[in-house]
Structures are given as C-alpha cells and as structure tokens.
C-alpha cells in the first residue's frame, strides 16, 4: 500500500495533530470534471483525483477503527473515543490521506459535538466539511439499536448540509459480534432501500467488507468524474453485490 504521508506510530496517531487536508486541496471539483466529461475526446482518469470521504455516525460505532483497519489492515482494540482524544473545533477527530493503487482518499472522521447541556447532537463535522464531501460513510453498530435508530437523524443532517449528489453508503459495523446483534441484516437493508443508498455490514475487527466499502465509493466517484455521456452509468449496488460474491464476504463474521 502506498502512503501519501509518512505514518506515525498508532500511539501518537490520535493524540497529535493530523496532516491538514484543506477543503479545496487535492481533488478536482465536480463542476470541472462534468465539463471535461462533456468535451470530446473522452477524458482520461485524473490520477490526482482525491475522494473526499467523511465517516459519521454515533459515538462508539467504530468509525476510527474502520479507518485504521482500512489504512493499516489491522484492528487496534480499545476505544478511540473522541471524549479523551484531540477533536478540532470543527468537530473533526481524524484527518488522513490514504492511497491504494490509483485511488486516493482524503478521509475525515467526524466526532460528536456535545452541547453545553451535555446532550449529543447529530452533528459531527461542521457544515463546510459536509458541503465539501464527495462521499459519506454513515455507520451504525449492529449491537446498538440506538445507533441504528439515529441513522434517520444523521441522514436528515446529511441531506440538509451535504451536496445533493454526495455518495452515501450505510454501514452496519461490528458484524463480527453476531451473538450480541440487536439489528438484523435485513433491517439495515430495508433502511438503505428506503433512502436509496448502498448498504453492507462491515467489521473493523475482522476487516470484512472494509476495503470494499471505501473502494466502492471511490469507484463511483471516479466513474462520475470521467463518465462519457453515452456510457452506461456505474452501478454501485451491482458492483458491491458482485464483489461480495467474489469475496464470500458475509459468511465469516
Ligand atoms: N468487535 C468489534 N469491535 C469494534 C469494531 N469496531 C470498533 N470496535 C470497538 O468499538 C469501540 C469504539 O470504536 P471507535 O473506533 O473508537 O468508535 P468511534 O465511532 O470512532 O467512536 P467516537 O470517537 O466516540 O465517535 C472500541 O472499543 C473498538 O475497539 C468491530 O468491527 N468489531
């Protein structure tokens, strides 16, 4: 795996400042790429395209663990809870750039902002981050009914502040904890269908579907950026299903 920055040891990872990823840096605006797509000849893939992706969801659902699993290919047990780690004023816990093959991600993990009365609000990153995001990974924890119930509120927040064409994916994380499961897989599937977003269960612990989740959104964004008007649209749902079948994804949680 090619890294865009030198890595710090994990112990320092969540207690030091992260490489700043400026909202406007490192990726091509959709407006530009749309125009390019309409101008013959068909555009080639912009190798510098960075897929700005934010992970959101209730506290403790495993956002940071999922990012670490994707980035480092391992599970580091224990909470990266925002409450005792550095959270920037804009509600961001981690910013990181990851590069795999010719795909690049600027990843941001949102941390819950607590209001003065100590009540959790359905807001993590500030509006500027939402507006700037190409993709949002929205996580719940399959062992936590409340994290699932709150997905609707998260989606309301996303629809209010994010770009209308943002790619959203719903992830039911902690898929390895089937004995403590509170949300059936078909409940996740039903919710995803209701909001017309792709869905899969993941495990930051075993790594199941982690790479697929990030790759699927990046591929969707890449296809949008370079799509020729006459070409068929990339079908993210079909891509996910075909890859799940290839990897036999869900049988070894
Ligand atoms: N078994 C299991 N545990 C997980 C998984 N993902 C995360 N955890 C655990 O769940 C807890 C919370 O994980 P975090 O990655 O800190 O969650 P977060 O969403 O970033 O939390 P906040 O910073 O509070 O927003 C930790 O104890 C993790 O070890 C998973 O897929 N399986």
ipTM: 0.99
Nearest Cα neighbor of 169 from 197, 133, 130, 140 is: 197
CATH code of the domain covering residue 209: 3.40.50.300
Q: Is residue 5 one of the residues assigned to a domain? A: no
- 64 C-alpha vs ligand 1 centroid, how far in Å? 7
Other Cβ atoms less than 10 A from the Cβ of 117: the count is: 5
CA distance 193 to 196: 5
Q: What domain count does the chain have?
A: 1
pLDDT of res. 27: 31
Q: Is 87:63 a contact under the CB 8 Å cutoff?
A: no
Q: Is residue 36 one of the residues assigned to a domain? A: no
pLDDT of res. 234: 72
Pocket test for ligand 1, best of 60, 87, 202 (most atoms within 8 A of CB): 60
Q: Is 87:126 a contact under the CB 8 Å cutoff?
A: no
CA distance 25 to 34: 18
CB of 209 closer than 6 angstroms to any ligand 1 atom: no
CB of 174 closer than 6 angstroms to any ligand 1 atom: yes
CA distance 183 to 25: 39
Q: Is residue 8 one of the residues assigned to a domain? A: no
CA distance 35 to 39: 7
Q: Is residue 37 one of the residues assigned to a domain? A: no
Q: Is residue 145 one of the residues assigned to a domain? A: yes
Number of H helices, E strands in the chain: 9, 6
Q: Is residue 218 one of the residues assigned to a domain? A: yes
As to burial, measured by CB atoms within 10 angstroms (0-12 exposed, 13-18 middle, 19+ buried), residue 34 is: middle
Q: Is residue 178 one of the residues assigned to a domain? A: yes
- 32 C-alpha vs ligand 1 centroid, how far in Å? 37
Residue-level pLDDT, tens digit, the chain, 253 residues: 334 433 333 333 333 333 433 333 333 333 334 444 444 444 455 566 889 999 999 989 999 999 999 999 999 988 776 655 566 777 888 888 999 988 899 999 998 766 666 565 667 788 888 999 999 999 999 999 999 999 999 999 899 999 999 999 999 999 999 999 999 999 999 999 999 999 999 999 999 999 999 999 998 888 877 766 677 777 787 888 778 756 555 544 5
Q: Is 66:55 a contact under the CB 8 Å cutoff?
A: yes
pLDDT of res. 29: 33
pLDDT of res. 238: 81
Residue 217: which domain range? Answer: 49-227+234-246
Using DSSP, state whether 211 is helix, strand or coil.
helix
Q: Is residue 17 one of the residues assigned to a domain? A: no
Task: Give just the sign of the alpha carbon dihedral 154, 159, 162, 166.
Answer: positive
Using DSSP, state whether 246 is helix, strand or coil.
helix
pLDDT of res. 114: 66
Q: Is 58:152 a contact under the CB 8 Å cutoff?
A: no
């Amino acid at each position: 795996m090619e890294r865009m920055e030198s890595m710090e040891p994990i112990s320092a990872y969540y207690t030091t400042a992260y490489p700043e990823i400026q909202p406007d840096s490192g990726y091509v605006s959709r407006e530009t790429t749309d125009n390019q797509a309409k101008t013959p000849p068909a555009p080639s893939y912009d190798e510098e395209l960075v897929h700005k992706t934010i992970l959101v969801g209730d506290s403790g659902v495993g956002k940071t663990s999922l990012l670490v699993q994707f980035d480092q290919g391992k599970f580091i047990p224990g909470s990266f809870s925002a409450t005792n780690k550095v959270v920037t004023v804009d509600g961001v816990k981690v910013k990181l750039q990851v590069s795999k093959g010719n795909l690049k991600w600027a990843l941001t993990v949102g941390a819950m902002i607590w209001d003065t009365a100590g009540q959790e609000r359905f807001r993590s990153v500030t509006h500027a981050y939402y507006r700037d995001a190409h993709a949002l990974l929205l996580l719940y924890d399959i062992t936590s009914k409340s994290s699932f119930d709150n997905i609707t509120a998260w989606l309301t927040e996303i629809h209010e502040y994010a770009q209308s064409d943002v790619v959203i994916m719903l992830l039911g994380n902690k898929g390895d904890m089937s004995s403590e499961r509170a949300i059936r897989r078909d409940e996740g599937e039903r919710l995803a269908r209701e909001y017309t977003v792709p869905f899969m269960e993941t495990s930051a612990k075993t790594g199941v579907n982690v790479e697929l989740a990030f790759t699927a959104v990046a591929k969707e964004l890449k296809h949008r950026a370079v799509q020729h008007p006459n070409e068929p649209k990339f079908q993210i749902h079909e891509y996910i299903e075909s890859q799940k079948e290839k990897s036999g994804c869900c049988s070894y949680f």
